Amino acid sequence: MMLRAYRSSDKRIKTEHYNSGKSFAIAEVIGNGSLITEFDSNGEIINQVFSQKKESAVLLEEYVKPHGRLEITSTEFYAPVKVNAVCTKCGSGEIYRELDFSTPSDILKVPVVPLFICKQCRSKFYSMTDRYLRNLVASNPQLFEKDELLERERDENAFIAKLQDNIIRIFAAKKINKLKILNK
């Protein structure tokens, strides 16, 4: 099966939807490597994979391989990832991934917790789905203490819920609200 993707003038590569329309991915050559980000159909981040290699097309092809062979064509325009959400401050329905407001080569740090911005009032939001958090923990066990990993093994759902509670407290202190996704 063929999976189409489009390379924009700023070198971002965005796939069409795959996984029965439930997912799509973006590959970006950033300042210190490549970033592959997978989204669900609502624009929420499912997974992020960073590599110090700068061959984003090769990395994306490996990432989406279970869904088809990648066919990349060029386009002049990159459409930012629009999230299916409404700003709780101004009511605008134009909320985008923060990284889409930067040129990929200027991105040197990718936040672990994905950030989004309202195009209208510039309010910031964070998003941390349980699925993304599970992927993050699984791919970065070195970030956790031994007892935390044992706790995860005993009851992963309780462990994820505890992490979510900690994230809520951290972002509440920064006055950044959690993004509320409207399901399609």
Per-residue 3-state assignment (H helix, E strand, C coil) for the chain: CEEEEEECCCCCEEECCECCCCEEEEEEEECCEEEEEEEECCCCEEEEEEECCCCHHHHHHHHHHHHCEEEEEECCCCCCCEECECCCCCCCCCEEEHHHHCCHHHCCCCCCCCEEEECCCCCEEECCCHHHHHHHHHHCHHHCCHHHHHHHHHCHHHHHHHHHHHHHHHHHHCCCEECCECCC
Cβ neighbours, 10 Å, residue 118: 23
Distances (CA, A) of 169 to 113, 138, 172, 178: 13, 23, 5, 11
With contact defined as beta carbons under 8 Å apart, do 10 and 103 qualify? yes
Give me the pLDDT at residue 184, please: 62
pLDDT band at 54 (very low <50, low <70, confident <90, very high): confident
pLDDT band at 76 (very low <50, low <70, confident <90, very high): confident
**pTM score:** 0.90
Give me the pLDDT at residue 22, please: 94
HSE-up of 124 (CA within 13 Å, CB side)?
12
Segment 127-163, tens digit of pLDDT: 999 999 999 999 889 988 999 999 999 999 999 999 9
Domains of the chain by residue range = 130-178
- Kindly state the tokens that stand for 69: 């062979």
